[in-house]
Chains A and B, each alone.
Chain A
Amino acid sequence: MTPRLAFREPSPLPGFGLSFGVMMTMLSIVVIIPIGALLLRGVEIGTTEVWRTLNNERVWHALELSFTTALWAALFNLVFGLALAWVLARYRFPGRKIVDAVVDLPFALPTAVAGIALTTIYAPNGAFGQLLAPLGIQVAYTRLGIWVALVFVGLPFVVRTVQPVIEEIEHEVEEVSATLGAYRGRTFRRVILPMLTPALLTGFALALARSVGEYGSVIFIAGNLPNMTEIAPLLIVIRLEEYNHDGAVAIAIAMLAISFAMLLAINLIQVWSRRRFGHA
Chain B
Amino acid sequence: MADALVLPAPPAAPASASPVSEPAWMRCTLIAVVLAMLVIFLFAPLVAVFTEALREGWRAAAATLASPDAVSAIRLTLITAAIAVPLNAVFGIASAWAIAKFDFRGKAFLITLIDLPFSVSPVVAGLCFVLLFGSQGLVGSWLIAHGVSIVFAMPGIILATMFVTFPFVARELVPVMIEQGRAEEEAALTLGASGWRIFRTVTLPNIRWALLYGVLLCNARAMGEFGAVAVVSGKIRGETTTMPLMIEMLYNEYLTVAAFTMAALLAALGLVTLTLKSFMEWRYADLLAASHRR
Contact = CB atoms under 8 A, between A and B. Distances in A.
A19 B127 contact: no
Interface string B175-186: 000000010011
Most buried by A among B21, B130, B131: B131
A136 B45 CA distance: 22
B132 interface: yes
A132 B45 CA distance: 16
A38 interface: yes
A268 B161 CA distance: 32
Nearest to B45: A117
A184 B22 contact: yes
Most buried by B among A116, A127, A179: A116
Contacts of A233: 121-124, 227
Interface residues of A, number: 98
Nearest to B106: A7
Contacts of A111: 224, 226-227, 244
B40 A107 contact: no
A34 B226 contact: no
A38 B124 contact: yes
A256 B124 contact: yes
B101 A13 contact: yes
B83 interface: no
Give chain A's interface secondary structure class.
helix
B224 A31 contact: no
B95 A110 contact: no
B121 A255 contact: yes
Give chain B's interface secondary structure class.
helix
A215 B121 contact: yes
Contacts of B124: 38, 213, 233, 236, 252, 255-256
Contacts of A213: 119-124, 227
Interface in B104-155: 104-105, 110, 113-114, 116-125, 127-132, 134, 136-138
The size class of the interface chain B forms with chain A is 35 or more
Interface in B38-56: 38, 40-46, 48-49, 52
A210 interface: yes
A113 B49 contact: yes
A249 B21 contact: no
Most buried by B among A16, A29, A160: A16
Contacts of B37: 80, 84
Interface of A: 7-9, 11-16, 18-20, 22-23, 26-27, 29-35, 37-38, 40-41, 80, 83-84, 86-87, 90-91, 93, 97, 99-114, 116-118, 120-121, 127-128, 148, 151-152, 155, 160-161, 164, 167, 171, 174-175, 178-179, 184, 187, 206, 209-210, 212-216, 220, 232-234, 236-237, 240, 245, 248-249, 252, 255-256, 259-260, 263
Give the 3 A-B residue pairs with the shortest CB-CB distance, closest first. A110-B224, A213-B121, A216-B226
28 contacts: A11-B103, A11-B182, A14-B195, A16-B101, A30-B163, A31-B113, A31-B116, A33-B132, A83-B34, A87-B30, A90-B21, A97-B282, A99-B34, A102-B42, A104-B278, A105-B46, A112-B248, A114-B45, A116-B251, A117-B263, A120-B48, A121-B48, A178-B20, A210-B118, A212-B121, A216-B122, A216-B244, A240-B130
